[in-house]
A and B are shown apart, each in its own frame.
Chain A
Amino acid sequence: MTPDRLDATFAALADPTRRAILARLASGEASVTELAGPFKMSQPAISKHLKVLERAGLISRSQDAQRRPRRLEAKPLAEATEWLETYRKFWEASFQRLDALLDELKAREKNVDPPTDRGESR
């Protein structure tokens, strides 16, 4: 995934209305009119959000020429999640090492008798 594409995905996801639109499209495709209703927004306002989502590759238009319904594209979202996982994995991996280090320090404390000035001993 290119950084530009990721930028577009996250910028698109940063807005609560656009996240709500995506959640709505998750339950099936919908036309602009159908989307404008529940969000109590004008069609031009909804169209603006849809354009951002489309540019990010998060939604596409179906072939139906009359309604031009939008539908969700799952792939960029999955890529964005993967990116979020990177952060989580950084901490997961680090904390697992910390678990091992703490075990080692606990064992060392037990063996030091009496406990020395733990501060600067090496």
Chain B
Amino acid sequence: MNETLKVTTPSDREIVVTRVFDAPRTLVFDCMCKPELVKRWLLGPPGWTMPVCEIDFKVGGRYRYVWRGPDGSEMGMGGVYREIVPPDRIVQSELFDQDWTGGETLATALLNEEASRTTLTITILYSSKEARDGALRTGMTEGMAAGYDRLADLLASIVTGEGK
């Protein structure tokens, strides 16, 4: 059984990703901060690998991720841990090598456990509306920034419009 992934844009500066996992949050937390575990799941679509996954898990510590695609192309990102409260939350800065997010973003991961199931909520905050709008113009994260749900509404209305 797959849980549903939710991607929403509650404000001009935020993207929120929510997902439920059938595991206690201590385990989910481990999977988010131990490199040997992170590199086993944070891989994106099939065919991608994670040749670099370095984590200095302490407040002020840095992390660095590099992914390699099936065609050999690489994508890297990294940042600094700002707040660590096991197993409740991790706050970290994020910056892609190609900077397609219009400057640094701040990602807050919250883990909420209920009946041995964990709801993970990742909020990505842009430095400004301008930064997010800048991200609209380049790279992969325009997918995050374009207002996924608003666009989905728009598309739904367009499909309806075409049908008549």
The answer to whether A and B interact is: yes
Interface residues of A (CB under 8 A from B): 3, 6-7, 10-11, 13-14, 19, 22-23, 25-28, 72, 74, 77-78, 80-81, 83-103, 105-106, 109, 118, 122
Say whether B136 contacts A11, CB under 8 Å: yes
- Please state if B40 and A93 are interface contacts (CB–CB under 8 Å): no
A112 to B23, CA, bound (A): 17
Smallest beta-carbon distance A89→chain B, Å: 6
Q: Is the CB of B137 within 8 A of A11?
A: yes
Assuming the contacts A101-B31, A101-B40, A106-B27, asked whether A90 and B45 have C-beta atoms less than 8 A apart, the reply is yes
Q: Which residues of B sit under 8 angstroms from A77, Cβ to Cβ?
A: 154-155, 158
Contacts of A105 on B, CB cut-off 8 Å? Answer: 23, 27, 30-31, 37
Q: Are B45 and A87 in contact (CB under 8 A)?
A: no
Complex CA–CA separation, A101 to B17 (angstroms): 20
Interface size counted on chain B using CB atoms at 8 A:
45
Q: Which residues of B contact A98 (CB under 8 A)?
A: 21, 28, 31, 41-42
Q: Which of A3, A14, A27, A28 contacts B146 (CB 8 A)?
A: A14
Q: B30 contacts which chain A residues (CB < 8 A)?
A: 105, 118
**Complex: chain A residue closest to B37, CB-CB:** A101
Partner of A94, one of B23, B43, B138: B43
Q: How far is the CA of A72 from the CA of B19 in the complex (A)?
A: 35
Chain B residues within 8 Å of A103, by CB: 22-23
Residues from chain A with Cβ under 8 Å of B143 in the complex: 83-88
Interface residues of B (CB under 8 A from A): 2-3, 5, 7, 17, 19, 21-23, 27-28, 30-31, 36-37, 40-46, 133, 136-138, 140-144, 146-148, 150-152, 154-155, 157-158, 160-162, 164
A-B contact pairs, 22 of them (CB 8 A): A6-B142, A10-B136, A10-B137, A14-B146, A22-B154, A23-B158, A26-B157, A26-B161, A27-B161, A28-B161, A74-B158, A77-B154, A84-B148, A91-B5, A91-B7, A94-B43, A95-B3, A97-B41, A99-B22, A100-B41, A101-B31, A103-B22
Q: Are A80 and B21 in contact (CB under 8 A)?
A: no
Query: Are B157 and A94 in contact, CB atoms less than 8 angstroms apart?
Result: no
Minimum CB–CB distance for B22 against chain A, Å: 7
Tell me whether B141 and A80 are in contact (CB under 8 A): no
Query: Which 5 pairs between the two chains have the least Cβ-Cβ distance?
Result: A87-B143, A26-B161, A97-B41, A102-B23, A26-B158
With CB as the reference atom, state the residue of chain A lying closest to B144: A87
